[in-house]
Structure 1
């Protein structure tokens, strides 16, 4: 009896095996995001005939580029067990510096960009040193940076847009150029995403970043220099935030101390959380983050096209962040705060 009944379960396992392999490869979180993205596109496509047009898809992609860049590095920070709430303000400082140096150097675009990147390195290094050697909680340290860098951008610019860069071919190419039909900004996002993905998945550096976020004690015992990794990760954030600031300048035509950069930190954190990053560290990936960025961009554009009050976009982002955290807790089997086991 046992011999004749044994093959039945094996057959079920064989038939279910390929499905399990596909689900494991893609990830349940990513499949949920794909489904949500298709739903948003279908909904607004039915409500507005122009929503799914090629031109509007390019508008969504361009608008999501800066958020996407910040979400990518926010993903790396969260995987490493940290958080950076100051990314939006960093973008504002870099934007102002790029435009002011450009204007003050006789319209030298490369010098303006180099200055912005240098500021990004310094700001990221400062965040990392405060967190590591000042032993300040990353949330508190970067919350202070959010206020400080915003104030610095306003002091440098006197609270006004600075410079005018649309008379320069380099900035015009970055902000409005096309390569193979895609905006240059989108290509930059693709290149950065690919580089970060390769770093995390196929290098010892990436594996060590996951190890630091997953269990810093075990990582330290394994000989990983945790302080060095944390500082370098925050420097990476500063560099990519500077790139985003340069793109903001190119897109708007001038250095923006707050306009265009305010609220980016919430979008970046929301995208990373929706993409599957465990806020405790050690888990996450670039694919899920990019899908979440696309979802947020499609939702924001759809609300705008339908003439819905822009304040509702903030409500939607906050709600999505809560939903993402709740889903994570349920999947990880974590106890809800304040409730018994």
Structure 2
């Protein structure tokens, strides 16, 4: 079946559309609006909205001249260092990957990780997430080159650069769809201290045999509803707004673009995991994530990342799935 609002694929028991966020509460959907999903999904111009027929063989729009970003439908993998790797996968339900990831190995004790999840209900979420990860990483790297000795300030510079880049994504001013936006979680690791910043519900975890913990707190309606006491966890989770985020990066959030920051002293051997909700929706509990790491039967970051992607797809793959993993081993410490 497909969504009555955007045409995205939906399952019978879905409460909201993973593509556009529309409520799928049974009372609000007319059976006449539920139609089979077309076999082929064609993409209009990412800038002016011209129909697919106006996109030439080299991906240029003949109406406005904008070159379309190439959208991969496969898993993208990164491994800038033996102990640092990541992967981003389209999943089984989306027609494009709106997540993005950037990883950088700077020196023996310095790493940069950035993971973003484009907001599906905004214009060009795939462009927003890519612009965010690229510019965030570049800004953090530049700050390190300038010998700025304040990790939290460096993270803020990176997130601000991401915000400015997302705000520059070309938009259709006549569209009623929200401006391009994305979540972000980024980490700077130096001397076994991780400084992590985020906006939205992409998460960071510490995964280790002795204790696995969630390091970030979601900027989400569900978290706010539970913490305020307005809803019980069960009530909040069953709400159609359960997955709605309350903070993000976008041109419409310029006044609220400062990330939350946490500093984590890495206590032992283990893994720093950054991921989008395409993974943690299926395994939100840190102890269960550790179980999944063990199931990979490999201590290296890239095989574990592949296993986590495979697991999420086996559970349904209802969203794009992105994971970044830094292994802290005896050689790293």
Higher helix share: 1
TM-score, normalized by length of structure 1?
A: 0.32
Higher strand share: 2
Structure with max Cα Rg: 1
TM-score, normalized by length of structure 2?
A: 0.32
